[in-house]
Structure 1
Amino acid sequence: MQTSICTTNYNCAHALERHLQSVFSQLSGLEFEYIVVDNHSRDGSWEILRKWASRQPAMRVLSRRSTMGEGRQIAFSHSTGGHVMVLDTDVVYGPLFRRFVDAYFARDPNLSVQAIFCGMFPRDQWIRAGGRRSLNTNEDVDLWIRIARQGTMRWYPVFVGENLKEASASGMADYMSKRYSRGERTIRLLRREWDLFKTRDLGRVDLGSLINGNILDLDLGVSPGSWPQQRSTETRIEHFLGLARELKLSIFAQ
């Protein structure tokens, strides 16, 4: 098996059909398997995933209570591919996605390369780095840094798909997504803070400089831009004041 797509899903029924259609159509002709761990969705996602798996022999669906990082690692443990591809189930992938994958295998299959909304990782590098840890926040950056220490991490700051998540819930504001109930929003916010504490050593890494110094241009006719980041330089007091505002918002938002 050449490539194992390892992903997770939680309440993304609004995007799943378009996501799956885009992935299977764009990767037509390639040897790949699609493994998704559903985190006990309650919006019909499981039924959509099971329907697709019944029609796609290369697709496997699992149901586990898990964080994003843990879910991806569970998917990885059931995979067989020489390369791991990380995708998001609320993203619809277009032609540039396929061109990125083709260029990666033609030019740099021995590197780990992260485009925006798609990561490609040689299996041995994923294993040596320890894989994904149980995180919702920083689960991607956490692995990038460990692979970067091997000297094989590169970035391609180009969007290869369209994220269907609400703009108001992007990045660190994911807890405000309408996918979550009011109670879940508060729990997700507190979990974000716990993950930030667990990965606090990443705050010492100048991620922008690391990425800018390791950009890979695959000559796809799209110039790499800057990597979208929401890393803050606020003081501890500013952070806790902001958290208090966010807690209030998560509790009272409709």
Structure 2
Amino acid sequence: MSYSICITNFNDRPYLEKSLQSITDFAGRIDAEVVVVDSNSTDGSQEIIDDYLRRGLIQRVISTRCSRGRGRDIAFRNSHGDIVLASIDTDVVYSVPGLLQFVAEYMSKRMGKLFAVYGAMIGTRSCIEKIGGWKDLDRHEDNEISMRAMMAGLYDQDMSINVVMEHLSELRKLTLMESMKLTYTDYRDWYRIGLKLRNTPADALMKPHVLLSYLSARIRGVMPSPVFDKYIAELKGEGAGNAGRR
């Protein structure tokens, strides 16, 4: 079996070196190819990525403006491994022992399904192709593909497995505008994949940008899943909070 690690990056230069070091350390342990999609970063990320490419620690880099979901799909389509590790982001330092446990669990007990843990996903190439890959979403793209996998009987999860050592971007205090933009995007894409307005927390509905996100979702087009409520209930049952940081 061959492995691919699919990574997305956008303006994560402050965290990029530590993140890539943890990912490539793990890749060396399982002889995996590393594919990076950079969404035309403007902060100098490309210099670091190119250095890893020159040193042979990254095998393929694609630079194109895209959403995170589209980036995940581009990385997948440009990878070659039989087993694909995805939902890997460059604002996270990953635990090599955690990732090794994750892969071992998949290979021994979950093979053939899309398997999600806290901080990553893994699946066979044939499974991901059957589900249809990732949709063009900025947020919750991993929740959306998980629901399609669930509908196909190809989804499994264990949020007690945590592959994240440190989520670096969470250490940075957001400005008011950054916080509002994040909340807007978060709710917009929740609405797009199935969250109903009546199920939105009351405190969130008091925020004009959340209501605006609902209108934006309707304009962009919704893709509600019939298993949305079941999927969210299972996540809450495992204590995964906001879909396991996805």
Query: For this structure pair, what is the TM-score category when the shorter chain's length is used for normalisation?
Result: 0.7 to 0.9
Query: 1:160 is matched with which residue?
Result: 163
For 1:1-254, list aligned pairs within 5 A.
2-56=2-56, 58-86=58-86, 87-94=88-95, 95-157=97-159, 158-161=161-164, 162-166=166-170, 177=174, 191-200=185-194, 201-202=224-225, 204-211=228-235, 226-229=239-242
> What is the deviation of 1:101?
1.6
Partners of 1:154 and 1:211 within 8 A in 2: no
Alpha-carbon separation, structure 1, partners of 2:117 and 2:236: 13
Task: Specify whether residues 121 and 28 from structure 1 end up closer, same or farther in structure 2 by C-alpha distance, changes over 3 A only.
Answer: same
**Unaligned ranges ≥5, structure 1:** 170-176, 214-224, 232-254
> What is the deviation of 1:57?
5.7
Q: Given residue 90 of structure 1, which amino acid in structure 2 is its aligned partner?
A: D
The one-character-per-residue Cα deviations of 1:67-88 (angstroms, maximum 9, x if unpaired) are 0000111111111111211111
**Unaligned ranges ≥5, structure 2:** 195-223
Partners of 1:5 and 1:34 within 8 A in 2: yes
Task: Specify whether residues 17 and 58 from structure 1 end up closer, same or farther in structure 2 by C-alpha distance, changes over 3 A only.
Answer: closer
Task: Specify whether residues 112 and 99 from structure 1 end up closer, same or farther in structure 2 by C-alpha distance, changes over 3 A only.
Answer: same
> What is the deviation of 1:198?
2.7
Secondary structure of 1:100's aligned partner: helix
> What is the deviation of 1:208?
3.6
Q: Which is worse superposed, 184-193 or 47-56?
A: 184-193
Alpha-carbon separation, structure 2, partners of 1:208 and 1:197: 13
Q: Given residue 48 of structure 1, which amino acid in structure 2 is its aligned partner?
A: I
Partners of 2:34 and 2:58 within 8 A in 1: yes
TM-score (norm 1): 0.73
Q: Given residue 159 of structure 1, which amino acid in structure 2 is its aligned partner?
A: N
> What is the deviation of 1:97?
1.8
Task: Specify whether residues 15 and 153 from structure 1 end up closer, same or farther in structure 2 by C-alpha distance, changes over 3 A only.
Answer: same
Q: Given residue 67 of structure 1, which amino acid in structure 2 is its aligned partner?
A: S
Alpha-carbon separation, structure 1, partners of 2:71 and 2:114: 20
> What is the deviation of 1:103?
2.9
- What is the total number of aligned residue pairs between the two structures? 210
Task: Specify whether residues 146 and 31 from structure 1 end up closer, same or farther in structure 2 by C-alpha distance, changes over 3 A only.
Answer: same
The one-character-per-residue Cα deviations of 1:168-212 (angstroms, maximum 9, x if unpaired) are 77xxxxxxx57xx96x87766655454334323249423243347
Q: Given residue 190 of structure 2, which amino acid in structure 1 is its aligned partner?
A: L
The one-character-per-residue Cα deviations of 1:18-48 (angstroms, maximum 9, x if unpaired) are 1111112123231311111111111111110
CA RMSD of aligned residues (A): 2.8
Task: Specify whether residues 188 and 108 from structure 1 end up closer, same or farther in structure 2 by C-alpha distance, changes over 3 A only.
Answer: closer
